[in-house]
Amino acid sequence: MTVYVESEDELGALAMKLLTEDVITNLAISRSVVDVREYIDLEVPIFYIEVVPTKRIPRVEVKDVLTVKETGTGCFDVEIVNERYAPQLLELMWSEFGEDNVHQIERNRLKLTKINLEDIMNLPIGEMKKNELMTVIRDMIFRIVPIGFRVIRNLSNDDKIAYIASENPILDEQIQWIEDNVLSRQPRELSIDRTELIPERETKPRRIVTYKEDII
């Protein structure tokens, strides 16, 4: 994962880079994010952020998540094997089959009535993991975007999640300008590093203790 932050104020950009890296670490998504690119125009002011998520997100199959046992005609005992998806699954089943037909008996056991087996196996849960990751990435973005920049436009597409934010109305020309002048070229690395932010520690020369002295 690489984080690129571009701005005319390099010191601020470096602080923003640290902030981004820390938010990604906190949310534990550093392996799910390939690239993060930020552009900060202090004149307008405008903040652009794009995140490229990894494409290796496994699809979730019903058989991986549920074990289904038929107990009668149209009645099934369903056990949620992977509890990670339990809240989303329950919500999905209630919306697909109706709340009267889906009863939660225990924490991870459901009783379904008036339902075909095929309907259960065809539940649209394949994108569940991807959707979960996208939600976390959006959360990450809104932790990074300056809080005062309330005017936000979504510029996401299939390959990336991108947002542009400002405290003033965002014009199409501004977006076009960023696309033409910033996104069309390779991202630039910052010329300063973390040592510029924090003054270095004054180190005193250490006294080396010989083996014999140590014993004494």
Binding site for other proteins (CB under 8 A): 7, 9, 11-12, 15-16, 18-19, 22-23, 26, 40, 42-43, 45, 143, 146-150, 167-168, 197-201
H runs (alpha helix) in 34-156:
62-65, 86-97, 117-121, 128-144
Q: How far is the CB of 169 from other proteins (least distance, A)?
A: 12
Closest distance to other proteins from the beta carbon of 44 (Å): 10
Report the residue number, 121 or 197, with the smaller CB distance to other proteins. Answer: 197
CB of 14 to other proteins, least distance (A): 9
Residues 6+ apart with CB under 8 A from 178: 39, 41, 46, 48, 164
Shortest gap between Cβ of 141 and other proteins (angstroms)?
12
Q: How far is the CB of 20 from other proteins (least distance, A)?
A: 9
Task: Report whether 82 contacts 64 (CB < 8 A).
Answer: yes
For residue 92, give the nearest of 57, 71, 66, 67 by alpha carbon. Answer: 66
Tokens of 103: 């009863």
- Contact call for residues 75 and 60 (beta carbons, < 8 A): no
User: Is-contact 12 21, C-beta < 8 A?
Assistant: no
CA-based nearest residue to 39, from 162, 156, 160: 162
Would you say 185 or 201 has its CB closer to other proteins? Answer: 201
CA pair distance 177, 175, nearest whole angstrom: 5
Q: What are phi and psi of 146, to 5 degrees?
A: -55, 135
Collect all residues with Cβ–Cβ distance below 8 Å to 211 and sequence separation of at least 6. Answer: none
* Shortest CB 53 distance to other proteins, Å: 21
Question: Nearer Cβ to other proteins, position 59 or 188?
Answer: 188
